[in-house]
Amino acid sequence: MATATKTFRNYIGGEWVDAAGGETFESHGPATGELIGTFPKSGPEDVDRAVEAAKAAFEEWRLVPAPKRGEIFYRFGQLLIDQKEDVAQLMTREMGKVIAEARGDVQEAVDISFYMAGEGRRLFGHTTPSELPDKFNMSVRMPIGVVGAITPWNFPIAIPSWKLVPALVCGNTAVFKPATDTPLLGERFVELLDEAGLPKGVVNIVHGGGGAVGDRLVRHPDVPVITLTGSRETGVAVLRAAADNLKHVHLELGGKNPIIVLDDADLDLAVDGIVWSAFGTSGQRCTAASRVIAQAGVYDELQSRLVAAAERLRLGPGWEDGVDVGPVINRAALDKIHSYTGVGRDEGAQLLTGGEIASGDGLGDGFFYRPTVFAEVEPDMRIAQEEIFGPTTALIRVVDLDEAIRVANGVRFGLSSSIFTRDVNKAFRAMRDLVAGITYVNAGTIGAEVHLPFGGTKETGNGHREAGQAALDVFTEWKSIYVDYSGKLQRAQIDTEGVNEP
């Protein structure tokens, strides 16, 4: 990778090319403002070229035996292992994560690559007995075509792997639009796929904004599948734009995730879980714990311990030793997060700590926000209902488990949830009654593993899942096959006398 020049291109049909219009944009690191690189500001013409290349490559790629397709992703996973530290260091600079989290981001891509490589030898269908004699029934998975993958900046290696690896193992080809805040990480991802031996045209990367690149990709008639991770508002726009062509659309959207802490909880463990879930990745996770629902008997003590823990967190560039919380992604995010501090105050919530843009102490021109805890929050306040996507969490007092579950479920989203309790009966009630795609017991709201389905309910998405075998349903069509070896016409469900006799 020619990082010395800091100028990068699209990858279309196996060639590195400039945008047709010749325009560019820059990527800057959120911790210091350093220039990461210059990238092509692409438009619809570039998307069309990429789709054409992916469509042509599909005709050969779909015929490659699935086990052989899978072998490429074993190699890809090994390349990620070999270059894990380099990629993680790049991530701390372009995205801002602390180095330990950046390594974890890369490890998720390793895990999903090895897992999905194995699916190349499975891709299970079903066989069933026929209702007719001398007849064989089965169902198989078939690839669909060109997949448009639109990914966010907060997991710039992991999320592309969740989308592209299963899509490609299943025999599809892809056009990949990474976030404009992390284009170099998207570029690095595709370079490693190429190095692993992926044929030309199977994956293509087109840099640029959602208005020019994303919208054309979503509307393109030769892209039957769209997979997007982003905001609820973007997801709704994508559904509308894709409707005319009846595309398969997979959406992973927002979250307003609760941690319930009951009176019998291990408070040390609960505080650790809350701090990691609320302030890890500077709160920029769709699974971040932005609500803490505490039973009255433990509320005051939990509040005191949580504030103390939040105030011990050290802010700084992610590559420095001892840093707990890195910057948020850009100025717009910083301003949005800070605006919600004003909203919380105006609503009557009690600001316990944080609530300010951080500067000084070597933070320079970075986009840093102090970990923020509100108390005495009512469930219907905006800071308890709307996704802030920053290091802010809200403490809500409840009487018992029943009220805790009602409050937890009382938002438009339903991604992740958590409960801390020593009572197995209450834990199982929460597992049953929390309306969410993920529930943790005695752990925070983050930490999904790649062999289980990932996704949410309600307005978090549209019912599909990433990771695990469930991901295969996004990227394949079912085909039912009937083989009649009776030598005569047999008509299922027709009760004509003698027609089905052996």
Catalytic residue (choose from 94, 101, 187, 252): 252
Cα dist from 304 to 283, 349, 395, 396, whole Å: 20, 16, 11, 14
Cα dist from 415 to 149, 235, 372, whole Å: 21, 15, 22
The residue whose two tokens read 């009602």 is 406
For residue 204, list its beta bridge partners: 175
Contact 463, 108 (CB under 8 A): no
Contact 11, 57 (CB under 8 A): no
Q: State both tokens at 129.
A: 């007995």
CA 309, 315, 317, 323 dihedral sign is negative
Q: Which residues contact 341 (CB under 8 A, 6 or more apart)?
A: 351, 354, 355, 356, 372, 392
Contact 42, 33 (CB under 8 A): no
Contact 407, 396 (CB under 8 A): yes
Long-range contacts of 219-224 (CB under 8 A, 24+ apart): 219/244, 219/245, 220/47, 220/48, 220/51, 220/148, 221/245, 222/51, 222/52, 222/55, 222/145, 222/146, 223/51, 223/145, 223/146, 223/147, 223/148, 223/175, 223/247, 224/144, 224/145, 224/146, 224/248
Catalytic residue (choose from 108, 187, 286, 387): 286
471: nearest Cα among 447, 449, 453: 453
| Phi, psi dihedrals of residue 165, rounded to the nearest 5° | -65, -50
Cα dist from 77 to 1, 66, 198, whole Å: 18, 17, 13
Active site residue 170: no
Cα dist from 130 to 1, 494, 495, whole Å: 56, 14, 16
Q: State both tokens at 114.
A: 């090895």
175: nearest Cα among 212, 227, 235, 232: 227
Active site residue 195: no
How far apart (Å, rounded) are the C-alpha atoms in residues 34 and 3? 14
Cα dist from 213 to 49, 333, 474, whole Å: 12, 22, 22
How far apart (Å, rounded) are the C-alpha atoms in residues 368 and 309? 18
Q: State both tokens at 273.
A: 């879980």
Contact 224, 144 (CB under 8 A): yes
How far apart (Å, rounded) are the C-alpha atoms in residues 34 and 28? 5
The residue whose two tokens read 């009557």 is 348
| Residues annotated as part of the active site | 252, 286
